[in-house]
Structure 1
């Protein structure tokens, strides 16, 4: 239950830059703890991968993406788009592939809650290990 209360801290992430920054850090920390738990080398990953700031340095703060990472070795990208919990409970994912298959991107769209977080962790690890089937 403590983790659930902790997630509620992020409810107003779209309106508060400090909360938004804390949420970005939360996703990064979760990702690298997950890699560590699975004995996957975190040094292979560029994180964040996508630029989420304007040219003046101000954060875009739209949650698209709230998290991104790219494996230099496997050329795999992870992109998490977080939606406001005001939109209900959302969760979906798919894999974008380039025509020459030189780049694969796992895209996850979700609201942040404990149930989705567990699914996200499972999907990320399955995808990194090459065991994830596309939902398209």
Structure 2
């Protein structure tokens, strides 16, 4: 049986904030050397309050590589251990550009265990380094 990490993040706002910080640190550590960590997916209402729904729990864009990662974390209640990922083309507004830019996005949806975390980090590093074999 899997041991879930941050299992109650959807019910406990403090746990949610801790989990969000955890993912932000993990994504920052996975970035290529010299790359700036910048979130791109909206996770807050207009008043600044977090959505508290796990989609996204965290995101990062690497402008030099034109690659992005969005983490969607699901509650393990009723689901058990899950992991899926896919790539899609999106358009983002780069702060220093007048027009939106096409970016390749990797979305990883999971319930968080040590095993799914390890798999996600391997896939994230490969994606950001453009290593298509890192799945």
TM-score by length of 1: 0.80
Query: Which residue in 2 is equivalent to 1:64?
Result: 55
Query: Which residue in 1 is equivalent to 2:8?
Result: 12
> Any gaps of 5 or more consecutive residues in structure 1?
none
Distance 1:56 1:44 in 2: 26
1:94-133 equivalent positions in 2, closer than 5 A: 94-98=86-90, 102-132=102-132
Kept in 1: contact 2:68–2:104 (CA 8 A): yes
1:43 to partner: Cα distance? 4.1
More helix by share: 1
Query: Which residue in 1 is equivalent to 2:25?
Result: 29
Kept in 1: contact 2:28–2:37 (CA 8 A): no
Pairwise CA RMSD:
2.2
Kept in 1: contact 2:62–2:128 (CA 8 A): no
1:75 correspondence with 2:60: no
Query: Which residue in 2 is equivalent to 1:92?
Result: 84
Post-superposition Cα deviations, 1:52-106, rounded to whole Å, max 9, x if no partner, equal: 111122211110011100012122110010000112111011100259x921000
Larger relative CO (CA 8 A, sep 6+): 1 or 2?
Answer: 2
DSSP-derived class of the 1:112 partner = coil
Distance 1:42 1:63 in 2: 28
Kept in 2: contact 1:81–1:108 (CA 8 A): yes
1:33 to partner: Cα distance? 2.6
Pick one of 45, 48, 54 that aligns with 1:54.
Answer: 45
- Name segments (4+ residues, structure 1) moved above 4 Å: none
